[in-house]
Amino acid sequence: MLRIHHGPGGSVVKLGKIARRIGLTAAIFALAVAGCSSKKSPGAGEGGPGSNPGGLGQEGMGGAGGSSLSRFQKGQLGSGEQGPLGDIHFDYNDYTVRQQDSEILHSNADWMQKNPDRRVQIEGHCDERGSEEYNIALGAKRAQAAKEYLQTLGIAGDRMSTISYGKELPLCTEHTEDCWTENRRDHFAVTE
């Protein structure tokens, strides 16, 4: 080992540590960039067999009653177009299925039993209050609560998936209690 006189404050040693940290950071960054390549292999995502294995991408959503995201992208969110399944609503900061929504869920279950070839994506939504992280988690709990309720009514769990949009896709954008109540919902999107 070669001894080096460090001088005031040990600046030679600090430069060595800094150089190693910069090199390590550059190596990690290079690996991250290489691992996150967005290039698709030829034929990927072109709608061929296996391109939508779960059947739940935007391509798999029906027109009426389609996903909130696809309706938002088409400028149709909040247009009143419901589809065959009804939405349910929740109390503030809660994910318990309300008694008044059990009739809607029974109706949704009846439709699903009459249409066994259809799958449903249950979307959890929240009002604008609270952080994004909190509302994403709350929306996920709301969607899961509806899924579990439908399972108690005899609907197979593998016919349903859940997603949370948190507060990102509101039906109503006013800052009122009525509007917030409308946004605290589960939407049931039927897949093709």
Q: How confident is the model at residue 53 (pLDDT cuts 50, 70, 90)?
A: very low
- Beta 185-190 vs 88-89: how paired, if at all? antiparallel
What average pLDDT does the chain have? Answer: 75
How far is the first Cα of the chain from the last one, in angstroms, to the nearest whole number? 70
Judged against a pLDDT cut of 50, whether residue 39 lies above it is answered with no
Q: How many CB atoms lie within 10 A of CB 161?
A: 18
Q: What pLDDT shows up at residue 164?
A: 96
Structure confidence at residue 110 as a pLDDT band (50, 70, 90): very high
Q: Which fold has domain 58-190?
A: 60s Ribosomal Protein L30; Chain: A; (3.30.1330)
> Can you state the angle between helices 102-114 and 132-152, rounded to 10 degrees?
60
DSSP bridge pairs for 183: none
> Left (φ > 0), alpha (ψ -120 to 50) or beta: where does 50 sit?
left
pTM above 0.85, yes or no: no
